[in-house]
Structure 1
Amino acid sequence: MRFLHKFTILLCSLVIISSFIQFIAFDRFFLANTSSLLLATNEKAANNLSEQLLAYFKNIEASMASIASDPTLRKDKDLLDKMNAVIPEVNTIFIIDKEGNVSVSSQPEKISGVNLSKRDYFLHGIKGETYISGVYKSAQGREVVAISTPIIDDGTVVGVVVGTVWLHDNELAMMFDNKSFGRSGFIAITDQQGTVVYHSDQERIGKKGGIVESLQGMTGSTIMKNYSEFEYYIGYSKVPQLDWYVIVGTPTAEVTQYRSMMLYQILAVSIFTIFVVVIIGTYTVRRYMKPFETLIEAFGSVRTGNYKKITLTGYATEFSEMIQSYNDTIRKLEEVHSTLKGAADIDALTGAYNRRSFDKILELLRGELQSGSLMTLGVMVLDLDNFKKQNDVSGHLAGDDILKEFTVIAQSVVGFRSLFRFGGDEFAIILRNVSDAMVISYAEEIRLQCAKKLSGCTVSIGIAAYPKNGDSIDELLAFADKALYMSKETRNKVTEYPAGK
């Protein structure tokens, strides 16, 4: 059998074997590993949210204690209103005497003279205890949680300070509304009786949480169905001192959909690859093997800085235009490389290429994109977080050291020629013929190393890619800058344009 036929059969066999291995490995390990990962992730998230919730109520307790210790605040409604205005966690504050009558209340509630002696928060407070209630309905029909602190005068409890949190209109919801877990995931918080204090679905607040009765221990994770009978990966944590539960859920359907999509993708790619190999294998090996080897060798020399041109003689006509484009690109690269060697194109502080070099590389990229010689192009725009603060606190010399350390980190990940400094603490990275996944991987590696090594600073990164996001370098830069703006909202983040998709 001729080498050509053997080579084609070998390629087909390798494609079939690799596809079979991918099917087996993916189907066997994907669900188990993904389930374990999501359960652990949700449990950790629940623990973190539990700590945030406890700190939230500790802040309220501290505020109530400061009011309880100040007789002037307790007696002056105007001062109490002003105090209420600077405590965003609490919607209203009122003072109760030892008989349970409300003596002073802040805006917007007007309940002075109302007797609350039967309320749990009063009974605990009058005993000298700081108390956080479960969910109950106020006299105005609101679903609220109360935090009470005793008023102690000469060692005797003479009243109670109470702050109430309205569940549908408070900072508690704002703490969690910006967090998401999957496309249909949720966060829920329940009180001691299992009543929902917070839920991603606002309609669930004030209702009984169906899954709470199945939870055991202070923290854990499990797979169970919610009130709508949809199966979820559940992570939970009991809030210390409150006996409330924080629950984080991610639907299992998202994982199974992704698994099916990946299996179908593997199958489609395998079939298509086999078809392509059978159809063009013979033609490719016979006519193009030698020119390809020459091009591969030439591109390999480019990596080492040796810009080797290819003669146009001795090759098939179909390769003339490709080789000419390669030679034109090499000529331009030689010109750019020669220019970049000059000291004027290197940033004196960091040693990275400067804005002048960046403008030159943009001109080169415009030509490459227009000629179609680039398959992919990744653009990152990077900005150091808290850099001005570090400059102000530690001085400009420390700021210069941070910029130098960042340059070392970035160049160690993407290489010397890919990093450019715009000025100040803003940088750009250009990556030719690198997959979108690798661009994101490089960005995450830079972000993680900066978080570990930079003194008091992190980095926010915006990414745009050709041809995914646009056909011109100017569009890609604009889109990467928009993605950076999204990253800067939370800092220490990588955002790929379009953000949120």
Structure 2
Amino acid sequence: MKRFIEWIKSFMSPKADGETKREIISLNIKNIYYVSLVVGIVQTVSLIFFIIFNTNSSGDGFFVKAVIRVGLSIVLCAVGFFVAGKLKKSSDAITKHTTAVKVFIGSFVVLLITWSMFVSVSNYVNNQQLLTFYTVELLAVMFVKLNPAFSTTIILGSYTINYLILTLGFGGGRINLYNYLMLGVLSVAGALLNYRLTVNYISEKNKANMLNESLEIIANHDSITRLQNRYALNQHVPDYIGQDICIAMGDINSFKAVNDTFGHRAGDDVLKTFADILLEFFSKECVYRYGGDEFLIIQSDIELEAFLDKLSLVNKRFSATKVEGVTTGLGCSFGCVRTCPVDTADLFDQLTKADKKLYEEKQKINQNRI
């Protein structure tokens, strides 16, 4: 019994995080917008035809009441259409005014159901079916995903009030209680199931999106430095074609000796430190770990002299940095070019030129040591 009660609680109130709830609210706003538009157009066309074909009866009470009933539905649809349209266009309305948006959704549903009850009473008095009431309840179940407690209260409450008004107020006798009760129960079950399925769908979709984003980050970034890798560079190649860019190919001086002397863990710490310093002077979109201890920097809209000044600051900053477990001095070298590649092949030719200039710079450093 306890498990059954827990299952009922879980079914009535499925767990949903904040993002899922916001998406449900956004979905409700869109549904109200489009349903109001379609129903409003249908009701307006119906009203026009009704007036045209009943011009001779424009003075009697039935005609006036029918026009009022349909006119009220058009007004409600117009309000739903314009308010939902404003909310749909505002990207931060749901986040900043969540409670107000939820009040609008709930109020719109309550008003629509109340209108359907008013129409149903009028139809019942004239020996007509309760089709409007049932249709509105169906629209609420199908297109609006309401909190289970709220939807249960509204649906059962509306069925109960509508039944009491029709039976106690107008003599009753024409409503099959069993069928009416079953429709109410099925409406509640449909609303709960609709909400639960929507929550599950959005939750699973968000989890899949997060997983895809994580996999994309892993695929495009180096695991040690967290910088972009060569795969990411291949993705960004089209962004550089036809652009004035400065390219720097750099590496860490005597990095092999650091690994051999102090171990690969210390070497990884040096790589991380160098990457962090690069990100102090260049945006993360500009910097790539090209391989081993080689790093690539590509920046647009900058003169070569200013680019070289930034690289000089990187070198000074790195040379003055101490890495735990590494007792030798640190330094770095760069080979630079400024270019405007015309195609992919040209871009990689320029990378090769920057690499050659790096090699030449390393040769000068080694000669000065001798």
TM range (shorter): 0.3 to 0.5
Higher strand share: 1
Flag the structure with more relative contact order, 1 or 2, with Cα contacts below 8 A and sequence separation at least 6.
2
TM-score scaled by length of structure 1: 0.28
Question: Which protein has the larger Cα radius of gyration, Structure 1 or Structure 2?
Answer: 2
Q: Choose between structure 1 and 2: higher helix proportion.
A: 2
